[in-house]
Structure 1
Amino acid sequence: MKRLLLTAVLAALMVTEVHAESFKISDIRVNGLQRVSAGSVFGALPLNVGDEADDRRLVDSTRALFKTGFFQDIQLGRDGNVLVISVVERPSVSSIEIEGNKAISTEDLMKGLKQSGLAEGEIFQRATLEGVRNELQRQYVAQGRYSATVDADVVPQPRNRVSLKIKINEGTVAAIQHINVVGNTVFSEEDLTDQFQLKTTNWLSFFKNDDKYAREKLSGDLERLRSYYLDRGYINMDITSTQVSITPDKKSVYITVNINEGQKYNVRDVKLSGDLKVPEDQVKALLLVQKGQVFSRKLMTTTSELITRRLGNDGYTFANVNGVPTPHDDDHTVDITFVVDPGKRAYVNRINYRGNTKTDDKVLRREMRQMEGGWASTYLIDQSKTRLERLGYFKEVNVETPAVPGVDDQVDVNYSVEEQASGSITASVGFAQSAGLILGGSISQSNFLGTGNKVSIGLTKSEYQTRYNFSYVDPYFTPDGVSLGYNAFYRKTDYSDLDVDISSYSVDSYGAGVTFGYPISETSRMTYGLTLQRDTISTGDYTVDEIFDFINREGDSFTNLKASVGWSDSTLNKGTLPTRGHSQSLTLETTTPGSDLSFYKIDYRGQLFAPLTDTYTLRLHSELGYGDGFGDTKGLPFYENYYAGGFNSVRGFKDSTLGPRSTPSTGKYPGTIADPDQDPEAFGGNVLITGGAEVLFPMPFVKDQRSLRTSLFLDMGSTFDTNCSSSSKYCESVDFSQMAASVGLGVTWVTALGPLSFSLATPIKKPDYSETQIFQFSLGQTF
């Protein structure tokens, strides 16, 4: 307003200076232009050559030129019938420097200045600068930085330019010294302040930073406080006032919240209203709110969401369900009516894919559970999106369901994907205490030529094992999802020079196999396989009696055809370091008639992730195994034994040192030498029992937790042998008193070289002959 009055006064004075009488403009001359073009002036000027200029029109012209914001002074004069306009341009901003900011990045500050009209090359207006300075001050106050100051200096530069220097002193965030809730009688102040994310200063505040006041956080806490009461029947609860007091030094904050609790209400009746479209009994089964319950807004809104989703599953994608509470103050009860507006059933016109430049459309389309022409089911659309995410070909998958123009009952389903590299040539280096240096290399393509087929060739070499493998999998060998895979391998394992307490022997194995997979649900599969395998055993002079006993009985070379059948189920939210869901698998493997040996193995693996809070998760896991011989084969072949101890087993104990031990060589077999000084060595067993529990929690000071897992764990387990020979001195059947147990801290970090894992564990139950190892680490495998 002041600016408009000043403009009007100036304009009036100028017009008076020009001439009190009107005149016909023969020409217009502009003086003082530097950066602003004459065209910009003439475009804003409401007068043209030939127009009659009078007092009113000259005032309007002055106002119009001032509104452009280009000029800080304008004078109108007359030279005969020539209108002379003399201007002084506003300076331009040559540079902007910001100092002292940390809480708000320079990039964000520059963006904010540019949006407000302050940027290099722009016209400078002091009023804009003052507004920006005040806004920055408010932003720091909103963060609880009450002592923050923002100063702006304008430094003149040549050629009518200025440089801006903004100096910021962010100060410190005011710490909360006390939170007081006034007016509560039903719930204790401790229960109510527990709902706040803001906390008073405590010993964890250094890590959590939760004692720093912020206006947005307080607003969220007040809403949580209100929800706490509404979910417990106090529908008339009201937050009457909130006071935030700051100490004179602006370093401490005191928060007082005044509330009126009101009365507690119970549910009198629950009704359904509107056009349900689905059987009423199915809708009633979704009602979480029941008569006689204490009123809960959370249960009411959750019920509305469940009914909405149920209608969406039948094609009523745009259904609207509202829970309407009707209170009765006389007896403190509430009637709840769920008003259902299903809208029209929507059908899918087309399913479109965007972003898949490498992957064939058919690879995406075969994952669809929602079909074109059918009604638009919310569940099927979301399930299709989930299946695309599980493929591993895409960084991100989004879905939209826009209405078809001109039609009120059809939608298109648009899936947009962002592809990631699905083929790779990789080399990896790992190290484990038990296996030494691990070198690996692979050529893999999980989306071969965009067909969705998987091809891989790999090599792994460690101190005691060399392994080559090739595999090919077609996940859709048939249109209904039956998979077909081939594999071939060569594996040479030599424990004779390995620095672990495992009986010395070596096994050369090679073979090939084929597998079929059949889906039985969205998360479960059955697998069937056949593998032809050739094994050759070599021993040394001091090899233990159990091995020579087996070789004398069965021989040292075997050709076996193994058949397997397995079932697996997984609802994990991520393939690497999951935090929710479960996975389990059960596999039976047995040799077939015509094989040199007759034996079988049954294996079970399972894990469950159960969120405890938003940041803490409980993980339960178990691995069980049992094997035995049948027919002419006595017991499970020793080189197929189970071992326990170390990563993926019982941490805190050396790898493979739990369970039965071998009998030192007695020299009773031809070609062997007795060694009375040989210690009993781990020999494994035909029974495996391991399991444990972990509490996963975020690591302090680390913002991105996606590639990091930290846990406190309890591990337990061991191996046993149900076929101990009479000569075995250190073998025993299943005995839970001989199970090992440990507690500790584990960390896994997914690095560029692979997962880096380490654990610090303390054994709390140590079986006979077992060997402990408090610190364990591995690069290249997860636990």
Structure 2
Amino acid sequence: MKKNLLLLLLGTLSLDAQQIKSINFNGLIHLSPEVAKEISGLKEGQNLSGEATDKAILNLFKQSYFEDIFITDDGNGNITINFKEKPSIARLDLKGVVTNDKKAIEQLITIKPGNMYDELAIEKTKEKIRQFYEAKGYFDTVVDVQKEVVADNESSLFLTLNINRGENMVINDVNLVGAKVFDYSDIEPIVANKSREFMGWMWGRNDGKVKLYDLPNDSLRIQDKYFQKGYLDAKISNPYLNASFDSYTADLTYYISEGEPYKVSEVSIKAPEFLELDTDELVKDFKLEAGDRMNSEYLRRDMKKLDDLVANKGYAFVKVTPNTIKNQDDHSVSIEYEVEPGEQVYIRNVQISGNERTADRVVRRELYLTEGNLYNRTDLEDSKDALKRTSYFDEVEIKEERVDKNTLDLIVDVKEASTGSISGGIGYGSSDGLLLNASLSDTNIFGSGMKGVVSVDRSDNELSGQIGLTNPRIFDSEYSLGGTLYANDYDWDNYEEKSYGFSTTLGRKLTRDLSASLTYVIEQSKISGLNQALRNIGYKQGTNIKSSLIPAINYNSTDDFYLPRRGIIAGASVEFAGLGGDEKFTKIRSNFNYYLGLREYIDYDLILRYKADFGKIFTNGYIPINEKLYLGGLRSLRGYENRSVSPKVYNGDWYEVGGDLSFNNSFEISFPIIDRVKMRGVTFFDYGTIRGKSSSDKYPIDAKSKNRSSYGAGVEWITPIGPLQIIFAKAINPASNDDTNTFEFSIGRRF
């Protein structure tokens, strides 16, 4: 605003006040004359005064459209309000930034094409960009604004923000002044700001970059580390960052007063009687008991246990407060958990969002809480786990929105996974050679929850295909039904197998985590190419018909389909072959998988896994060689070729005869590599044993129990076409007649 012009105008108008006859506008673009007139507050017939014009100009300036406004009068009461509008931004470019940063900055800043150019908004934008890079550890970032008029149109600008990202401030040393209980190595895993390690640019090493906005939280993390060891009087200063902007290096210092550790003298619970809590038994079950050294982490776990217990009685908004009384004379602390349950809460509405493809009913049938139910925390968590186990969703969140003291709404917010794919793949495995795959699959056909697959696999030893369809919840009931047509052509080392068949399975959900099923299989297989040694020990060539019934029971309490971090998968089945056909045997199979995520304990997304499988065959007549048990390969014993670990018979070479009893297990550690693309690494140790036939009339049999083990590492990656595993394995002390391999991969198997 031109202040001197306004004062002159006000002075002139005050000399000769007159009535306004007409109001005209000059230079107005973004506002209509009617709107501008309404905003100004001027009206025809009104006395033209300095006070009125001053107010009109201020009102119009508040719209943020104008660089300058002044009013002229022709002397007869006809006034003109003259505007010089701010130019609009026709295009906004960010230069000097990498793609990922550019996307983040575009979402962060508020100026967009079409906005009016405003110096204050530009300065705020420059500050936001500087803060964005400071949060990432870059200091002295410079943002230069370049303006270019669009052709001859001064009302439009091309705006370019030239960003010169600053330098990383690197921490050389972290000093804990006054610390005796802990040194830097103790607090290093929990703080965000770490000192730079040798070769810190390598993955897995600390690069030492300052994370400015995490500094205040680091002090709290260190203090909680002391609290976990019972040092309740520990005081941690604010971080002192002594930085050199010449070398962009810094030393980070905390001043610490530790105090003495405290022991728990007493633990009690104060709760209303109507909750009917057995407080004595609950205290006995707590992690933190009288006589223990105080531990803030154990305190939080006990609070959560008590909170969940009360919430399961319908008290969704329960408050558990730990009242601690410190006795500084003997360094003891008494803990009283005070429970304020509030009111019992019922579910009013359940709203489903994010399911653009999946039908609402498919989501609802997995929920254990619905409209009218009394709130239950366990039901809520089980619902979330059940949805994640379906494989339909990448993310599941159930939000609680309070309506009043007695009701709440549940908002089930899901992010749908890519469940359907048309894929083709090519790869190489040391045991199978060239691997080709083509498939059309979907675990959520048209959002109905039904699963279907059509696939063909080809390798040096295998040609197989299948067509399958399964409805896991017939008419949204607890029953499932599925069927599969399949054909296989295998060229094993010691025989060839061609088979085709059909299987159908009827299942029922017994509890939330337990289900039972009954499968019928009819299959024709043709065995050829058996050498004399295998025929001599009883195996037959030719065509066999298998007709079998397989009752099974399965348990699954995991929290995710492809990448579980918590829970157990276990199952057992018995195959009764001999309901007609040529093959007569009983085969028992069982499996047990255990998953434990350690993020809650070590603040790092490490997952421990244990997997075990057991198999046993009883002969009731005849068992063909293709139904025997074998170990080796990605699914059982990595580092050994597929089906190569077995009792063997010798006839110029060693040939696998298959086993009657097998056991294999794996210990795995999974860790993140690139979180944003769901890529993880894995290390493992496998061990397996198998035994079988121990005698032959003419040929020697190596029938001792085969005990084999291996170790290795690999990559796990949840890709758009399914989970991918790439494994490098090393057999441990293999026998001279073992077939080993070092590299395998698979697509589609859960981890």
Deviations 1:543-598 (A, max 9, x none): 222324425xx785544443333333233333334444332333322334766454
User: How many angstroms apart in 2 are the aligned matches of 1:535 and 1:108?
Assistant: 59
Cα distance between partner residues in 2 of 1:98 and 1:457: 47
Q: How far did 1:346 drift?
A: 2.0
How far apart are the structure 1 equivalents of 2:263 and 2:128?
Answer: 47
Q: Which moved more, 1:477-486 or 1:175-184?
A: 477-486
The equivalent of 2:75 in structure 1 is 80
1:204, distance to aligned residue in structure 2 (A): 5.3
Once the 2 structures are TM-superposed, how far is the Cα of residue 176 of structure 1 from its aligned partner? 0.8
Tell whether 2:715 aligns with 1:740. Answer: no
Inter-partner Cα distance in structure 1 for 2:580 and 2:445: 37
Question: Aligned partner of 1:529: which letter?
Answer: T
Q: Structure 1 658/146 Cα, relative in aligned 2: closer, same or farther at 3 Å?
A: same
Other-structure match for 2:192: 197
Query: For structure 1, which segment, 464-473 or 44-53, has the greater mean C-alpha deviation from structure 2 after superposition?
Result: 464-473
The aligned runs of 1:461-610 (5 Å cut-off) are 462-467=459-464, 469=466, 471=468, 473-476=470-473, 481-495=478-492, 502-503=493-494, 505-539=495-529, 543-550=531-538, 556-592=542-578, 596-610=582-596
Contact 1:353–1:416, Cα closer than 8 Å, also in 2: yes
Equivalent position of 1:385 in the other structure: 384
**Cα distance in 2 for residues equivalent to 1:324 and 1:215:** 34
Quote the offset at 1:690 in angstroms.
2.9
Q: 1:184 to 1:311 in 2, by over 3 A?
A: same
Q: Secondary structure at the match of 1:197?
A: coil
Aligned to 1:670: none
Equivalent residues of 2:388, 2:559 under 8 A apart: no
Deviates more, 1:417-426 or 1:196-205: 417-426
Where does residue 675 of structure 1 map in the other structure?
none
Counterpart CA distance in 1 for 2:619 and 2:513 is 33
Residue 174 of structure 1 is aligned with which of 169, 178, 191?
169
State the SS of the aligned residue for 1:150: strand
- Tell me if structure 2 keeps the 8 A contact 1:433–1:777: no
Tell me the SS of whatever aligns to 1:604.
strand
Partner SS, residue 122 of structure 1: coil
Shift of 1:765: 0.7
2:611 maps to 1:621: yes
Shift of 1:343: 1.8
Change (3 A) 1:42 1:108: farther
The number of residues matched between the two structures is 740
Instruction: Pick the aligned partner of 1:255 from 245, 252, 257.
Output: 252
> Residue 698 of structure 1 aligns to a residue in which SS?
strand
Q: CA deviation at 1:605?
A: 2.8
Do structure 1's residue 641 and structure 2's residue 628 form an aligned pair? yes
Q: Does 1:130 align with 2:123?
A: yes
Alpha carbons 1:18, 1:76 under 8 Å: kept = no
Q: How does 1:702-741 map to 2 (within 5 A)?
A: 702-706=674-678, 708-734=679-705, 739-741=707-709
- Cα distance in 2 for partners of 1:470, 1:110 equals 47
CA deviations on 1:476-517 (whole Å, 9 max, x unpaired) are 56987344444554444444xxxxxx22x3344444454443
CA contact (8 A) 2:266 2:333 kept: yes
CA contact 1:71–1:87 (8 Å) conserved in 2 = no
User: Which whole-Å CA distance do the structure 2 matches of 1:16 and 1:752 have between them?
Assistant: 73
1:662 paired to 2:649: yes
Q: What is the CA-CA distance between 1:627 and the residue it aligns to? A: 2.1
One-letter amino acid of the structure 2 residue matched with residue 765 of structure 1: N
Q: Is the Cα contact below 8 Å between 1:92 and 1:121 reproduced in 2?
A: no
SS of 1:236's equivalent?
coil
Q: Deviations over 1:50-86 (max 9, x none)?
A: 2233444444344334434444444445443426456
Aligned equivalents of 1:365 and 1:155: distance in 2? Answer: 56
CA contact (8 A) 1:24 1:51 kept: yes
Matches within 5 A, 1:410-425: 410-415=407-412
Shift in Å, 1:257: 1.5
Q: Does the 8 Å CA contact 1:240/1:259 hold for their aligned counterparts?
A: yes
Q: Secondary structure at the match of 1:306?
A: helix
TM-score w.r.t. length of structure 1: 0.83
Aligned to 1:724, what secondary structure does the other structure show?
coil
Distance in 1 between residues matched to 2:192 and 2:439, nearest whole Å: 48
Question: Which residue of 1 is the match for residue 316 of structure 2?
Answer: 317
SS in 2 for 1:382: helix
1:147 Cα offset (Å): 2.8
Number of the residue aligned with 1:245:
242
Which secondary structure state, in structure 2, belongs to the residue aligned with residue 289 of structure 1? coil
For structure 1, the residue ranges without an aligned partner over 5 or more in a row are 496-501, 665-677
Task: For 2:585 and 2:343, locate their aligned partners in 1 and report how far apart those are by CA, in whole Å.
Answer: 62
Percent sequence identity over aligned pairs: 24
Distance 1:679 1:782, change over 3 A: farther
| Cα distance in 2 between the residues matched to 1:164 and 1:574 | 47
Could you say if the C-alpha distance between residues 696 and 279 of structure 1 is closer, same or farther in structure 2, counting changes exceeding 3 Å? same
Cα displacement (A) at 1:315: 1.3
Structure 2 vs 1, CA of residues 726 and 710 (structure 1 numbering), >3 Å: closer, same or farther? Answer: farther
Q: Deviations over 1:645-689 (max 9, x none)?
A: 33223333333333332232xxxxxxxxxxxxx423333322323
Distance 1:691 1:325 in 2: 47
Displacement of 1:296 after TM fit? 3.0
Residue identity opposite 2:118 in structure 1: Q
**Aligned CA distance change for structure 1 residues 204 and 377 (closer, same or farther; 3 Å):** farther
Partner of 2:343: 344
What residue number does 2:137 align with?
Answer: 144
Contact 2:431 2:741 in 1 (8 A): no
Supply the distance in 2 between the matched residues of 1:748 and 1:171 (Cα, whole angstroms).
35
- 2:212 is the alignment partner of 1:212: no
Which structure has the bigger radius of gyration?
Answer: 1
Residue among 657, 668, 680 paired with 1:683: 657
- Residues 418-443 of structure 1: CA deviation (Å, up to 9, x unaligned): 66676777666665454455566666
Tell me, yes or no, if structure 1 residue 767 matches structure 2 residue 738: no
**CA pair 704-732 structure 1, distance change in 2 beyond 3 A:** same
Mark the CA change 1:96 to 1:17 in structure 2 (over 3 Å): closer, same or farther: farther
AA in 2 matched with 1:145: Y
* Structure 2 residue 222 is matched with structure 1 residue 229: no
1:188 Cα offset (Å): 3.2
Question: In 1, Cα distance between the equivalents of 2:331 and 2:736?
Answer: 68
* Unaligned segments of structure 2, at least 5 residues: none
The answer as to whether partners of 1:432 and 1:778 remain within 8 angstroms in 2 is no
CA distance in 2, matches of 1:193, 1:472: 51
Counterpart contact for 2:523–2:545, Cα < 8 Å: yes
TM (norm. structure 2) is 0.86
Change (3 A) 1:132 1:190: same
The answer to whether the 8 A contact 1:17-1:77 is kept is no
Q: Confirm whether residue 23 of structure 1 aligns to residue 18 of structure 2.
A: yes
Amino acid corresponding to residue 704 of structure 1 in structure 2: R
Partner SS state of residue 650, structure 1 = coil
Greater share of strand:
2
Amino acid at match of 1:269: E
d(CA) in 1 for partners of 2:103, 2:529 = 68
Q: Secondary structure at the match of 1:646?
A: coil
Cα 1:394–1:464 shift into 2, 3 Å: same
Q: Which residue of 2 aligns with 1:672?
A: none
Structure 2 distance, partners of 1:449, 1:123, is 46
Q: CA RMSD in A?
A: 3.8
Displacement of 1:10 in angstroms is: 5.5
* SS in structure 2 of the partner of residue 205 of structure 1: coil
Single out whichever of 771-780 and 87-96 deviates more from structure 2: 771-780
Q: Deviations over 1:123-165 (max 9, x none)?
A: 3333443343344334433433223222234456644345444
Per-residue Cα deviation, 1:377-398 (whole angstroms, up to 9, x for no partner):
2222332333233333455544
Deviates more, 1:297-306 or 1:409-418: 409-418
Given that 2:648 and 2:703 are in contact with CA atoms closer than 8 Å, whether structure 1 keeps it comes out as no
Cα separation, 2, equivalents of 1:179 and 1:480? 60
Local SS of the residue matching 1:105: helix
Q: Does 1:43 align with 2:31?
A: no
1: CA distance between counterparts of 2:420 and 2:144? 54
Aligned equivalents of 1:55, 1:524: Cα separation in 2? 84
